[in-house]
Amino acid sequence: MSALEILIIETSLPIKNSVIWLHGLGADGHDFAPIVSDLNIPNTRFIFPHAPYKPITMNNGYEMRAWYDLFGLNLQNQQDEAGMREMQKNIESLIINETAQGINELNIVLAGFSQGGAMALFTALRHTGRLAGVLALSTYVSLKEKLVDEASTANMDMPIFMAHGIFDSVITLDTSSVSRQLLEGLSYSIEWHEYAMGHSVCTEEIDDISRFLKKAFQAE
């Protein structure tokens, strides 16, 4: 396991909170960096890792930044379990690095968009320490059949923000809704949002994310 390259943005000192934000397939850590100022979250370190380059089966083996291999966008397709579990270790290392700098896990949020959102959920739901929350944007629960056995009891009451575009043709609203229903069936607390957009992020969503983060970090 090699360490991930990261981009760091700190909003103001002292740093009391951390957000680890995972980009989507083919993007990099710079993708969501511009919205930090719009979120207006003080005393927070935003960590934007760059996924390593991987050949993507769905894209005829073309190499791009990815958290794991993709065989298709339907959850009935084969899933790269080994790749997910390897990347989980990398993200756990980022959490450990934050706690080593004095950040309580209760003040750490995992966030991600699309494939990054799936990886954020995959990691957070299995993490053994209680986190502040998860931002799962335009995404889904991967390896859902294994979640019941692998879910961490520490994060059963962790707030989860799920948001999706009703016109998303990359990961459909129905795909995300199935994941929402799965999580709600397991008694997770889901804050669900739908927006009139495609596979993207909109201003209204950024405002809702800001409110979610401020609430997650207010219990200092």
189 is catalytic: no
Q: What is the pLDDT of residues 112-164, one digit of tens each?
A: 999 999 999 999 999 999 999 999 999 999 999 999 999 999 999 999 999 99
Q: What is the pLDDT of residues 15-35, one digit of tens each?
A: 999 999 999 999 999 999 999
User: Could you give the CA distance from residue 45 to residue 108 in angstroms, rounded to a whole number?
Assistant: 10
* Three-state secondary structure call for residue 154: helix
How many helical (H) and strand (E) elements, i.e. helices and strands, does the chain have? Answer: 6, 9
175 contacts: CB under 8 Å, gap ≥ 6: 73, 74, 75, 140
DSSP, res 153: G
Per annotation, catalytic residue among 31, 69, 80, 168: 168
Q: What is the pLDDT of residues 150-201, one digit of tens each?
A: 999 999 999 999 999 999 999 999 999 999 999 999 999 999 999 999 999 9
pLDDT at 184: 97
pLDDT at 91: 98
pLDDT at 220: 43
93 is catalytic: no
pLDDT at 78: 86
For residues 146, 152, 17, 32, the Cα torsion angle rounded to the nearest 10 degrees is 0
pLDDT at 7 over 60: yes
Residue 164: name the closest of 140, 134, 188 by CA: 140
Per annotation, catalytic residue among 114, 138, 142, 176: 114
For residues 215, 206, 13, 103, the Cα torsion angle rounded to the nearest 10 degrees is 50
| pTM across the whole model | 0.96
Pair 50, 90: CB distance under 8 Å: no
pLDDT at 191: 98
Q: What is the pLDDT of residues 76-123, one digit of tens each?
A: 678 999 999 999 999 999 999 999 999 999 999 999 999 999 999 999
80 is catalytic: no
Q: What percent of the chain has pLDDT over 90?
A: 93
pLDDT at 218: 84
Per annotation, catalytic residue among 199, 200, 208, 210: 199
CA dihedral for 91, 94, 99, 105, sign (positive or negative):
negative
All structural domains of the chain with their residue ranges: 5-217
For residues 156, 106, 90, 178, the Cα torsion angle rounded to the nearest 10 degrees is 30
How would you label 33-48 residue by residue, b for 16+ Cβ within 10 Å and e otherwise? bebbeebebeebbbbb
CATH superfamily ID and name for 5-217: Alpha/Beta hydrolase fold, catalytic domain (3.40.50.1820)
